[in-house]
Chain A
Amino acid sequence: MGTQIMAASVLSGVNIVFLAALAAVWVRNYRTFRTSLVLGLLAFAVVMLVENAFALYFLFTMQSLYSGDPHVQQAVLVLRALQLLALTFLTYVTMR
């Protein structure tokens, strides 16, 4: 596995950890408040979790697709990193 694809896999793994933490907070809050806002946030977290699980799956099973072109690997890494940055901000304000 190329270094960049490995790094992208690790970032997806961290995204999953953040999303699991967010989902845990929102599940608990939904039980408490029963509001559609929290349900919407929970749905958002679950879909993003699935997206990251698919990303990991593709990174592991379709390495031949990425291995030929370093630019593709770089693009995948940048996209994973930007998602991690976005989730870091959201997790920060949610955990306060």
Chain B
Amino acid sequence: MEKALWYLLTATRGGENRVRIIRTLSDQPLNANRLADELDVGYKTIRHHLDVLESHGVVEAGGEKYGQLYFLTDQFEHSRDTFEQITKHLE
């Protein structure tokens, strides 16, 4: 998980937006639509990032199919120190 976080967040083009998604979901679980509004990023882009984060076990979807909420996984919470270290220079 730690290695994946480093690569996903710092080495790729969408890394900064993925950090913003994780930070927003730290405050409260949201669905893709709300995330798109909150971060002022296109819905398709948010969907793409959520799929990438989900496939790496960072987020998981809960509830019913449409408008389902995204949560941070327990696995991610175990690696939260790494996340804080990665983002410590970010505003």
Taking a contact as CB atoms under 8 Å apart, the answer to whether A25 and B10 are in contact is: no
Number of interface residues of B (CB under 8 A): 16
Partner among B13, B14, B48, B87 whose Cβ is within 8 Å of the Cβ of A33 = B87
Query: At the interface, yes or no: A63 with Cβ under 8 Å from chain B?
Result: no
Taking a contact as CB atoms under 8 Å apart, the answer to whether A96 and B13 are in contact is: yes
- Which residue of B has the minimal Cβ distance to A93? B12
Report whether over half of chain A's contact residues are helix, strand or loop; otherwise say mixed: helix
Number of interface residues of A (CB under 8 A): 14
Q: Given A29-B11, A33-B89, A34-B89, list of 16 further CB < 8 A pairs? A: A25-B12, A26-B11, A32-B89, A32-B90, A33-B9, A33-B10, A33-B15, A35-B10, A35-B89, A37-B11, A38-B10, A38-B11, A41-B11, A94-B11, A96-B12, A96-B13
